[in-house]
Amino acid sequence: MKTIAFPPGFLFGVATSAYQIEGAHDTDGKRPSIWDVFCRQPGAIADASTGNVACDHYHRYREDVQHMATLGLDAYRFSISWPRVLGDGGNVNPSGLDFYDRLVDALLEKQIRPFATLYHWDLPQSLQEIGGWASRETVERFAELAHVVGARLGDRVHDWITVNEPEVIAFVGHAYGQHAPGLRDPKLALRVAHHLLLAHRAASEALRTADRAARVGVALNLNPVHPATDASEDVAAARRLDGYFNRWYLDPLYGRGYPADMVEWYGELIDGEAVAEMRSYDGDLDFLGINYYSRRVVRASAGDLLSLQDVRVESADHTTTGWEVYPEGLFEILRRVADEYRPRALYVTENGASFDDRPVNGGVPDPARTRYLATHFEEAARSIDAGIPLRGYFVWSFMDNFEWHNGYTKRFGVVYVDFPTQRRIDKESARWFQRFLAAR
């Protein structure tokens, strides 16, 4: 790969989430999350696994932070386990807060800048039992979480992401049933999506009250959407999917309310009061996080919520999740967001790929991932050259982990984890990343 220049101060890091790596599912006062419960449902997880142990990061965090420092990382994006910090959604668990205290101190000792995500999908089960994200009370309780965590960590953590991927939380968890809590109700999913936007604002206010230096953003999974053909019905299908994935969250976060075409499409599924409430809403974002993995190519097809279906691009490379490798899409989505919404700053908060990685002679060759990262880094550099306010880039993921409904069948890490022994082994992509960072 040719040398790519990034400006001084540009951050390169890795990302994880609490349930996917921490383990220690019932240690030191941690209470059950919706994922602890969902994983026990027959057929919910591809390999019938759980996050009970995962990468045992709760006990091995110092080893992992040292590993990050050895790779030369600038920043680390992690998430706070709500049921570890507020065991029943309300009462503070000092031991849980102490863990994140220790983690942040360990990062700062190695000069690694912490980016904390307040919600990466592990809602306390106790809150789910009284309505979960379908209830306005959960919005209020989320603000309490932000206040507690911000008051404890805000003297050292100044970069905050309130909610990770509201589309996945709302629809994959509440309309398609593939993620916790495993429900299948599109009307409920739209209510959840609305409450997540309200929760972002409530948490933002709480964080800024706790820390005047707080920089607050949200992380959206955004996809360029392309029609399979020029036929008007396929173009309209692509427009609908763009409205579902991208504009439904971007528009209100930037003060435009819900997109009118999607309000019309959803019809009676969307609450009119929610639409009215969004007309006076603004996300007040210091930055926007974009999780980018691939594009979507679609054609019109009757039968589902959006009356469309995905089209596989057979000529392209694909990851083991079936996602097309399409690095150009990163520039496309960054350019589009910068032009249409004028964000103050952007971060790629997740980007990475799953491949069939296996140890060979003590190492883990993964040339496809190295190519994937190199080509996406090039698109990031292209974006900066084009004047887009991109400030940092987080690779998903630091290490192989519990990949939600896929369990341990998909490996996204640049570091290989042998789960029976918890041994960490650098993949070739990690060593490439280390050389890349050193060459700056």
**Cα 348 → chain centroid:** 10
As given in the structure block, the two tokens for residue 144 are 């309490």
Separation CA 159–CA 78 (nearest Å):
11
Alpha carbon distance 26, 227 (integer Å): 47
Give CA–CA dist 2/240, Å, rounded.
Answer: 39
**Spatial CB neighbours of 425, under 8 Å, sequence gap ≥ 6:** 359, 362, 363, 364, 415, 416, 417, 418
Q: Is 109 a catalytic residue?
A: no
Sign of CA dihedral 10, 14, 19, 25: negative
Q: Tell me whether residue 339 is exposed, middle or buried, using C-beta atoms within 10 angstroms of its C-beta: 0 to 12, 13 to 18, 19 or more.
A: exposed
| Cα 233 from Cα 215, distance rounded (Å) | 42
Catalytic: 165? yes
Say which residues have a Cβ less than 8 Å from residue 437's Cβ, sequence separation at least 6: 12, 71, 72, 73, 74
Neighbours of 276 (CB within 10 A): 11
- The strand order across the sheet containing 296-300 reads 225-227, 296-300, 308-310
Q: What is the dihedral of CA 307, 289, 175, 253, to 10 degrees?
A: -80
**Catalytic: which of 22, 165, 332, 403?**
165
Q: How far is CA 79 from the centre of its chain?
A: 10
* Residue 227, H or E segment: strand 225-227
Say which of 167, 332, 350, 379 is annotated catalytic.
Answer: 350
Catalytic residues: 165, 350
